[in-house]
Amino acid sequence: MAYPKCEICGKESVGVCCSCMGAISHSYCEECLNEGREVWTTLIGGLYGLTKKTMHPDIQFVIDATCKFYNKTEDELWQEVEQLEKDYDDYMRREWERNQE
């Protein structure tokens, strides 16, 4: 039996562990763990509701390592966080309206 491949880069995994972004687990390889990389969607979700000013500063190394790996800028990351927040707000508004009928 083997753990699933690293969910970031696809290499052999060293195990499944909890993400530093919240209560979710992923399979990571040694390199991604050592670099501080995170699964892109988990990073986006973990930053939901936060801004560069309100996030915990100790997470900056995860942002840097993850953006570098996925070839994204930090601005692109925060734009995706804002888009997720907007999409969720729109979804909740539609659900609220649907329940008023």
Q: Which two tokens stand for residue 78?
A: 């925060």
Residue closer to Zn ion, measured from CB, 8 or 43: 8
Measured CA to CA in angstroms, residue 15 lies from 1, 3, 12, 94, 95 at distances of 12, 6, 9, 40, 39
Our finding on whether 9 is near Zn ion (CB under 5 A) is yes
Contacting Zn ion (CB under 5 A), which of 21, 26, 32, 39?
A: 32
Q: Position 54: which residue type?
A: T
**Which span (7-15, 41-49, 53-61, 92-100) binds Zn ion, by CB under 5 A?**
7-15
Contact positions vs Zn ion (CB under 5 A): 6, 8-9, 11, 29, 32
